[in-house]
Chains A and B, each alone.
Chain A
Amino acid sequence: MVTLFVRDLRVQYGSGDNAVNAVDGVSFSLEDNESIGIVGESACGKSTLGLAIVRSIPGGRVISGDILLDSKSILNVSEEEFTGNIRWKKIAMVFQGAMNSLDPVFTIKQQFEEILQVHGYSGDRIKTINDAVDAVGLPVSVLDKFPHEISGGMKQRAVIAMALLLRPKLVIADEPTTALDVLVQAQIISLLKKMKKEGMSLVLISHDLGIVSEISDKVAIMYAGKIVEFGTMQEVYSNPKHPYTQALLKSTPKIKGGLDLISLKGNPPSLASPPAGCRFYDRCPEAKERCETEPPVTKTKTGYVSCWLYEESK
């Protein structure tokens, strides 16, 4: 049983004049046994957000806000306690490029054992490892192999099995299918769907709206460090409110749909000197003068949207 609550989180890299707020005032919540998709383009801060939740941001730090796991802050606990009781036990992460995050000089089994050892696991190690490998549909024979001896899809499954090893309630998966072949990608999606059914909560970080629609109950659309729209996946996909969400959905080619796609002009703003108002301003087809000031956050049926178009009439 787990709930995750992120409140007004800000994560900064660098300092002084070079400071960049990669995550800039992000709030969302995740109920028990739910899955959320964090969607956005490269450099929008989605990976940093995931890393912040496992307190592993290389070179960055949380400067404000809070992350609550089951109503307890995980930012205030000591590093020892976080490693001992939370990281990998309650929250695990499947890193981006996970295929390359395996150590080439150890067998898969040795790498599983290392995790158990670091976390002082006292149960039946071999059974735990075999169960985890079995849960992701890999043969046990994989354990005695080195990473280079198995395919990309198998490595990805092995990395997911590692994240599941200590039966965490919450798994953060950062682009778990990128760089995999289409068929393998689909198999990993089926696997994540199955694990979700079995009670796991999942934060899925992806740029692919299609994959998110397979797995996520809720979706947060991130743009330049901020969440611009948040709600249930059904609501956001069938009734997108923010112009950026609308553009993302319309720029995804569909096999059966028409060929009338919309492309966005320009590039996201630099996070080193973000514009004062709405960050989507210079690419937005709906931009007006008022957008040069910070847009209001308006409640929607299942979440919120941050755009002047939906300013509540007073």
Chain B
Amino acid sequence: MEEILSVKNLKKYFTKGGFMRQKETVRAVDGVSLSIKKGQTLVLAGESGSGKTTMARLILGAVEPDSGEIIFDNTEINTDTSSLKKIRKECQMIHQDPYASIDPRMKVFDIVREPLDIHGIGRPSERREMVFDALRDVKINPDDVASKYPHMLSGGQRQRVVIARSIATKPKMVIADEPVSMLDVSVRVGVLELIKELQNKHGISFLYITHDLSTARYVGHFISILYLGKIVEVGNIGDVLLQPKHPYTQALMDSISEPNPNNLHSEKKIRINSPLDIDVYHGCRFRARCPYAIEKCKQEPSLEQVGNQRSVACFVEIN
């Protein structure tokens, strides 16, 4: 199957401190490669500070990479204006917090219409119908909601408006950064279902960024686990989550609490150590917290293929 997005060896370092303090380099994204097939969803999972959001910003050209290559729909994305225009039109974004990502002074209709105006899609007379179509696609009745302001909507409805805005331009890909983490449990599933439905209907590819592996399993096809700027495990989402091969993936799985009456009297075991005070950029980055660390881990493991579309960066075989 053809790829919509292919990222190769992407790097972005940030420097903090400086004035009156020692400069410190943060390797936010350090040699990340990933690819998304047309019409599929790749989950990019990791804790805060793992570089997930920086990845999204790099892909959309909001920050410039130090090195590496981004190929979107057979076009290389660099600082060239035409490539930036292409990706910003054909790759849209759903942000985490629907209370912050839409302008409270704009009506729903104008919010969804804005990207059409910016990218000059359709004749102005056609845009009204395009906005209404997008709203219908996200299961919002345009006649009721189009003339409302965001404060008149619930969290779930707001997030649907954000999704309508992201699909109004008929993008080939959508980056969704924790799209349900701010929503109530009972409306989450509705939004996840909507994402799947839009994918089937319009063939949109998704990059789904999250730390919540149980919702990830529901929408994703493939998953990449990110730890401190490096991908530690990649594969088919069912394989990776049910049989993790990297100790970090295993710890993430251990940490999930699912509603299960047996939890009450069983001890919660997370296979992770409290961090050692060592240089995380020397050798395997997870070494400081890894319960399986061996001498060899002072060298840096590379991402090796271990099976069908499955790669892992670890010297130890944990199962």
Contacts and interface: CB of A to CB of B under 8 A. Distances in A.
Interface in A138-185: 181-183, 185
A183 B227 CA distance: 13
B218 A261 contact: yes
B276 interface: no
Interface stretch (A11-19, A50-58, A203-211, A301-309): A203-211
Interface of B is mostly: helix
Given A186-B270, A207-B184, A210-B258, 16 more contacts: A181-B48, A182-B211, A182-B255, A183-B272, A189-B257, A193-B267, A207-B185, A208-B257, A210-B257, A212-B259, A237-B259, A237-B261, A253-B192, A255-B213, A255-B242, A255-B256
A96 B282 CA distance: 38
Contacts of B156: 267
B261 A186 contact: no
Interface string A226-255: 000000011001100000000111011111
Interface string A185-197: 1110110010000
A183 B268 contact: no
Interface residues of B, number: 41
Interface of B: 47-48, 154-157, 184-190, 192-193, 211-215, 217-218, 241-242, 251-261, 263-264, 267-268, 270, 272
Contact of A213 (B192, B193, B241, B257): B257
B197 to A, nearest CB: 12
Interface stretch (A21-29, A124-132, A214-222): A214-222
Contact of A254 (B188, B214, B263, B272): B214
Residue from the set A182, A207, A216, A262 with the largest chain B CB neighbour count within 10 Å: A182
A256 interface: yes
A262 B261 CA distance: 20
A256 B157 CA distance: 29
Contact of A264 (B190, B218, B251, B257): B190
Nearest to A232: B261
Residue from the set A185, A234, A263 with the largest chain B CB neighbour count within 10 Å: A263
Contacts of B184: 41-42, 207
B235 to A, nearest CB: 15
A238 B259 CA distance: 10
Given A41-B186, A189-B268, A255 B217 contact: yes
A259 interface: yes
Nearest to A180: B48
Given A233-B261, A249-B259, A182 B189 contact: no
Contacts of A182: 47, 211-213, 252, 255-256
B231 to A, nearest CB: 18
A186 B259 CA distance: 14
Residue from the set A185, A209, A267 with the largest chain B CB neighbour count within 10 Å: A267
A251 B185 CA distance: 7
Top 6 A-B residue pairs of the complex, sorted by shortest distance between their CB atoms: A186-B255, A210-B257, A263-B189, A209-B259, A263-B190, A264-B186
A263 to B, nearest CB: 4
A233 B188 CA distance: 23
A182 B186 CA distance: 20
A233 B270 CA distance: 23
Contacts of A263: 186-190, 193
Contacts of A262: 189
B261 A234 contact: yes
25 contacts: A41-B186, A182-B211, A182-B213, A182-B252, A183-B255, A183-B270, A186-B268, A186-B270, A208-B185, A208-B257, A209-B185, A211-B257, A213-B261, A234-B261, A248-B186, A251-B186, A253-B214, A254-B258, A255-B214, A255-B217, A256-B242, A259-B217, A261-B189, A263-B193, A267-B156
Interface string A37-65: 00001100000000000000000000000
Nearest to A244: B186
A80 to B, nearest CB: 39
Contacts of A238: 261
B242 A217 contact: no
Contacts of A251: 185-186, 188-189
A237 B185 contact: no
Residue from the set B184, B188, B253, B259 with the largest chain A CB neighbour count within 10 Å: B259
Contacts of A207: 184-185
B186 A181 contact: no
Contacts of B270: 183, 186-187, 190
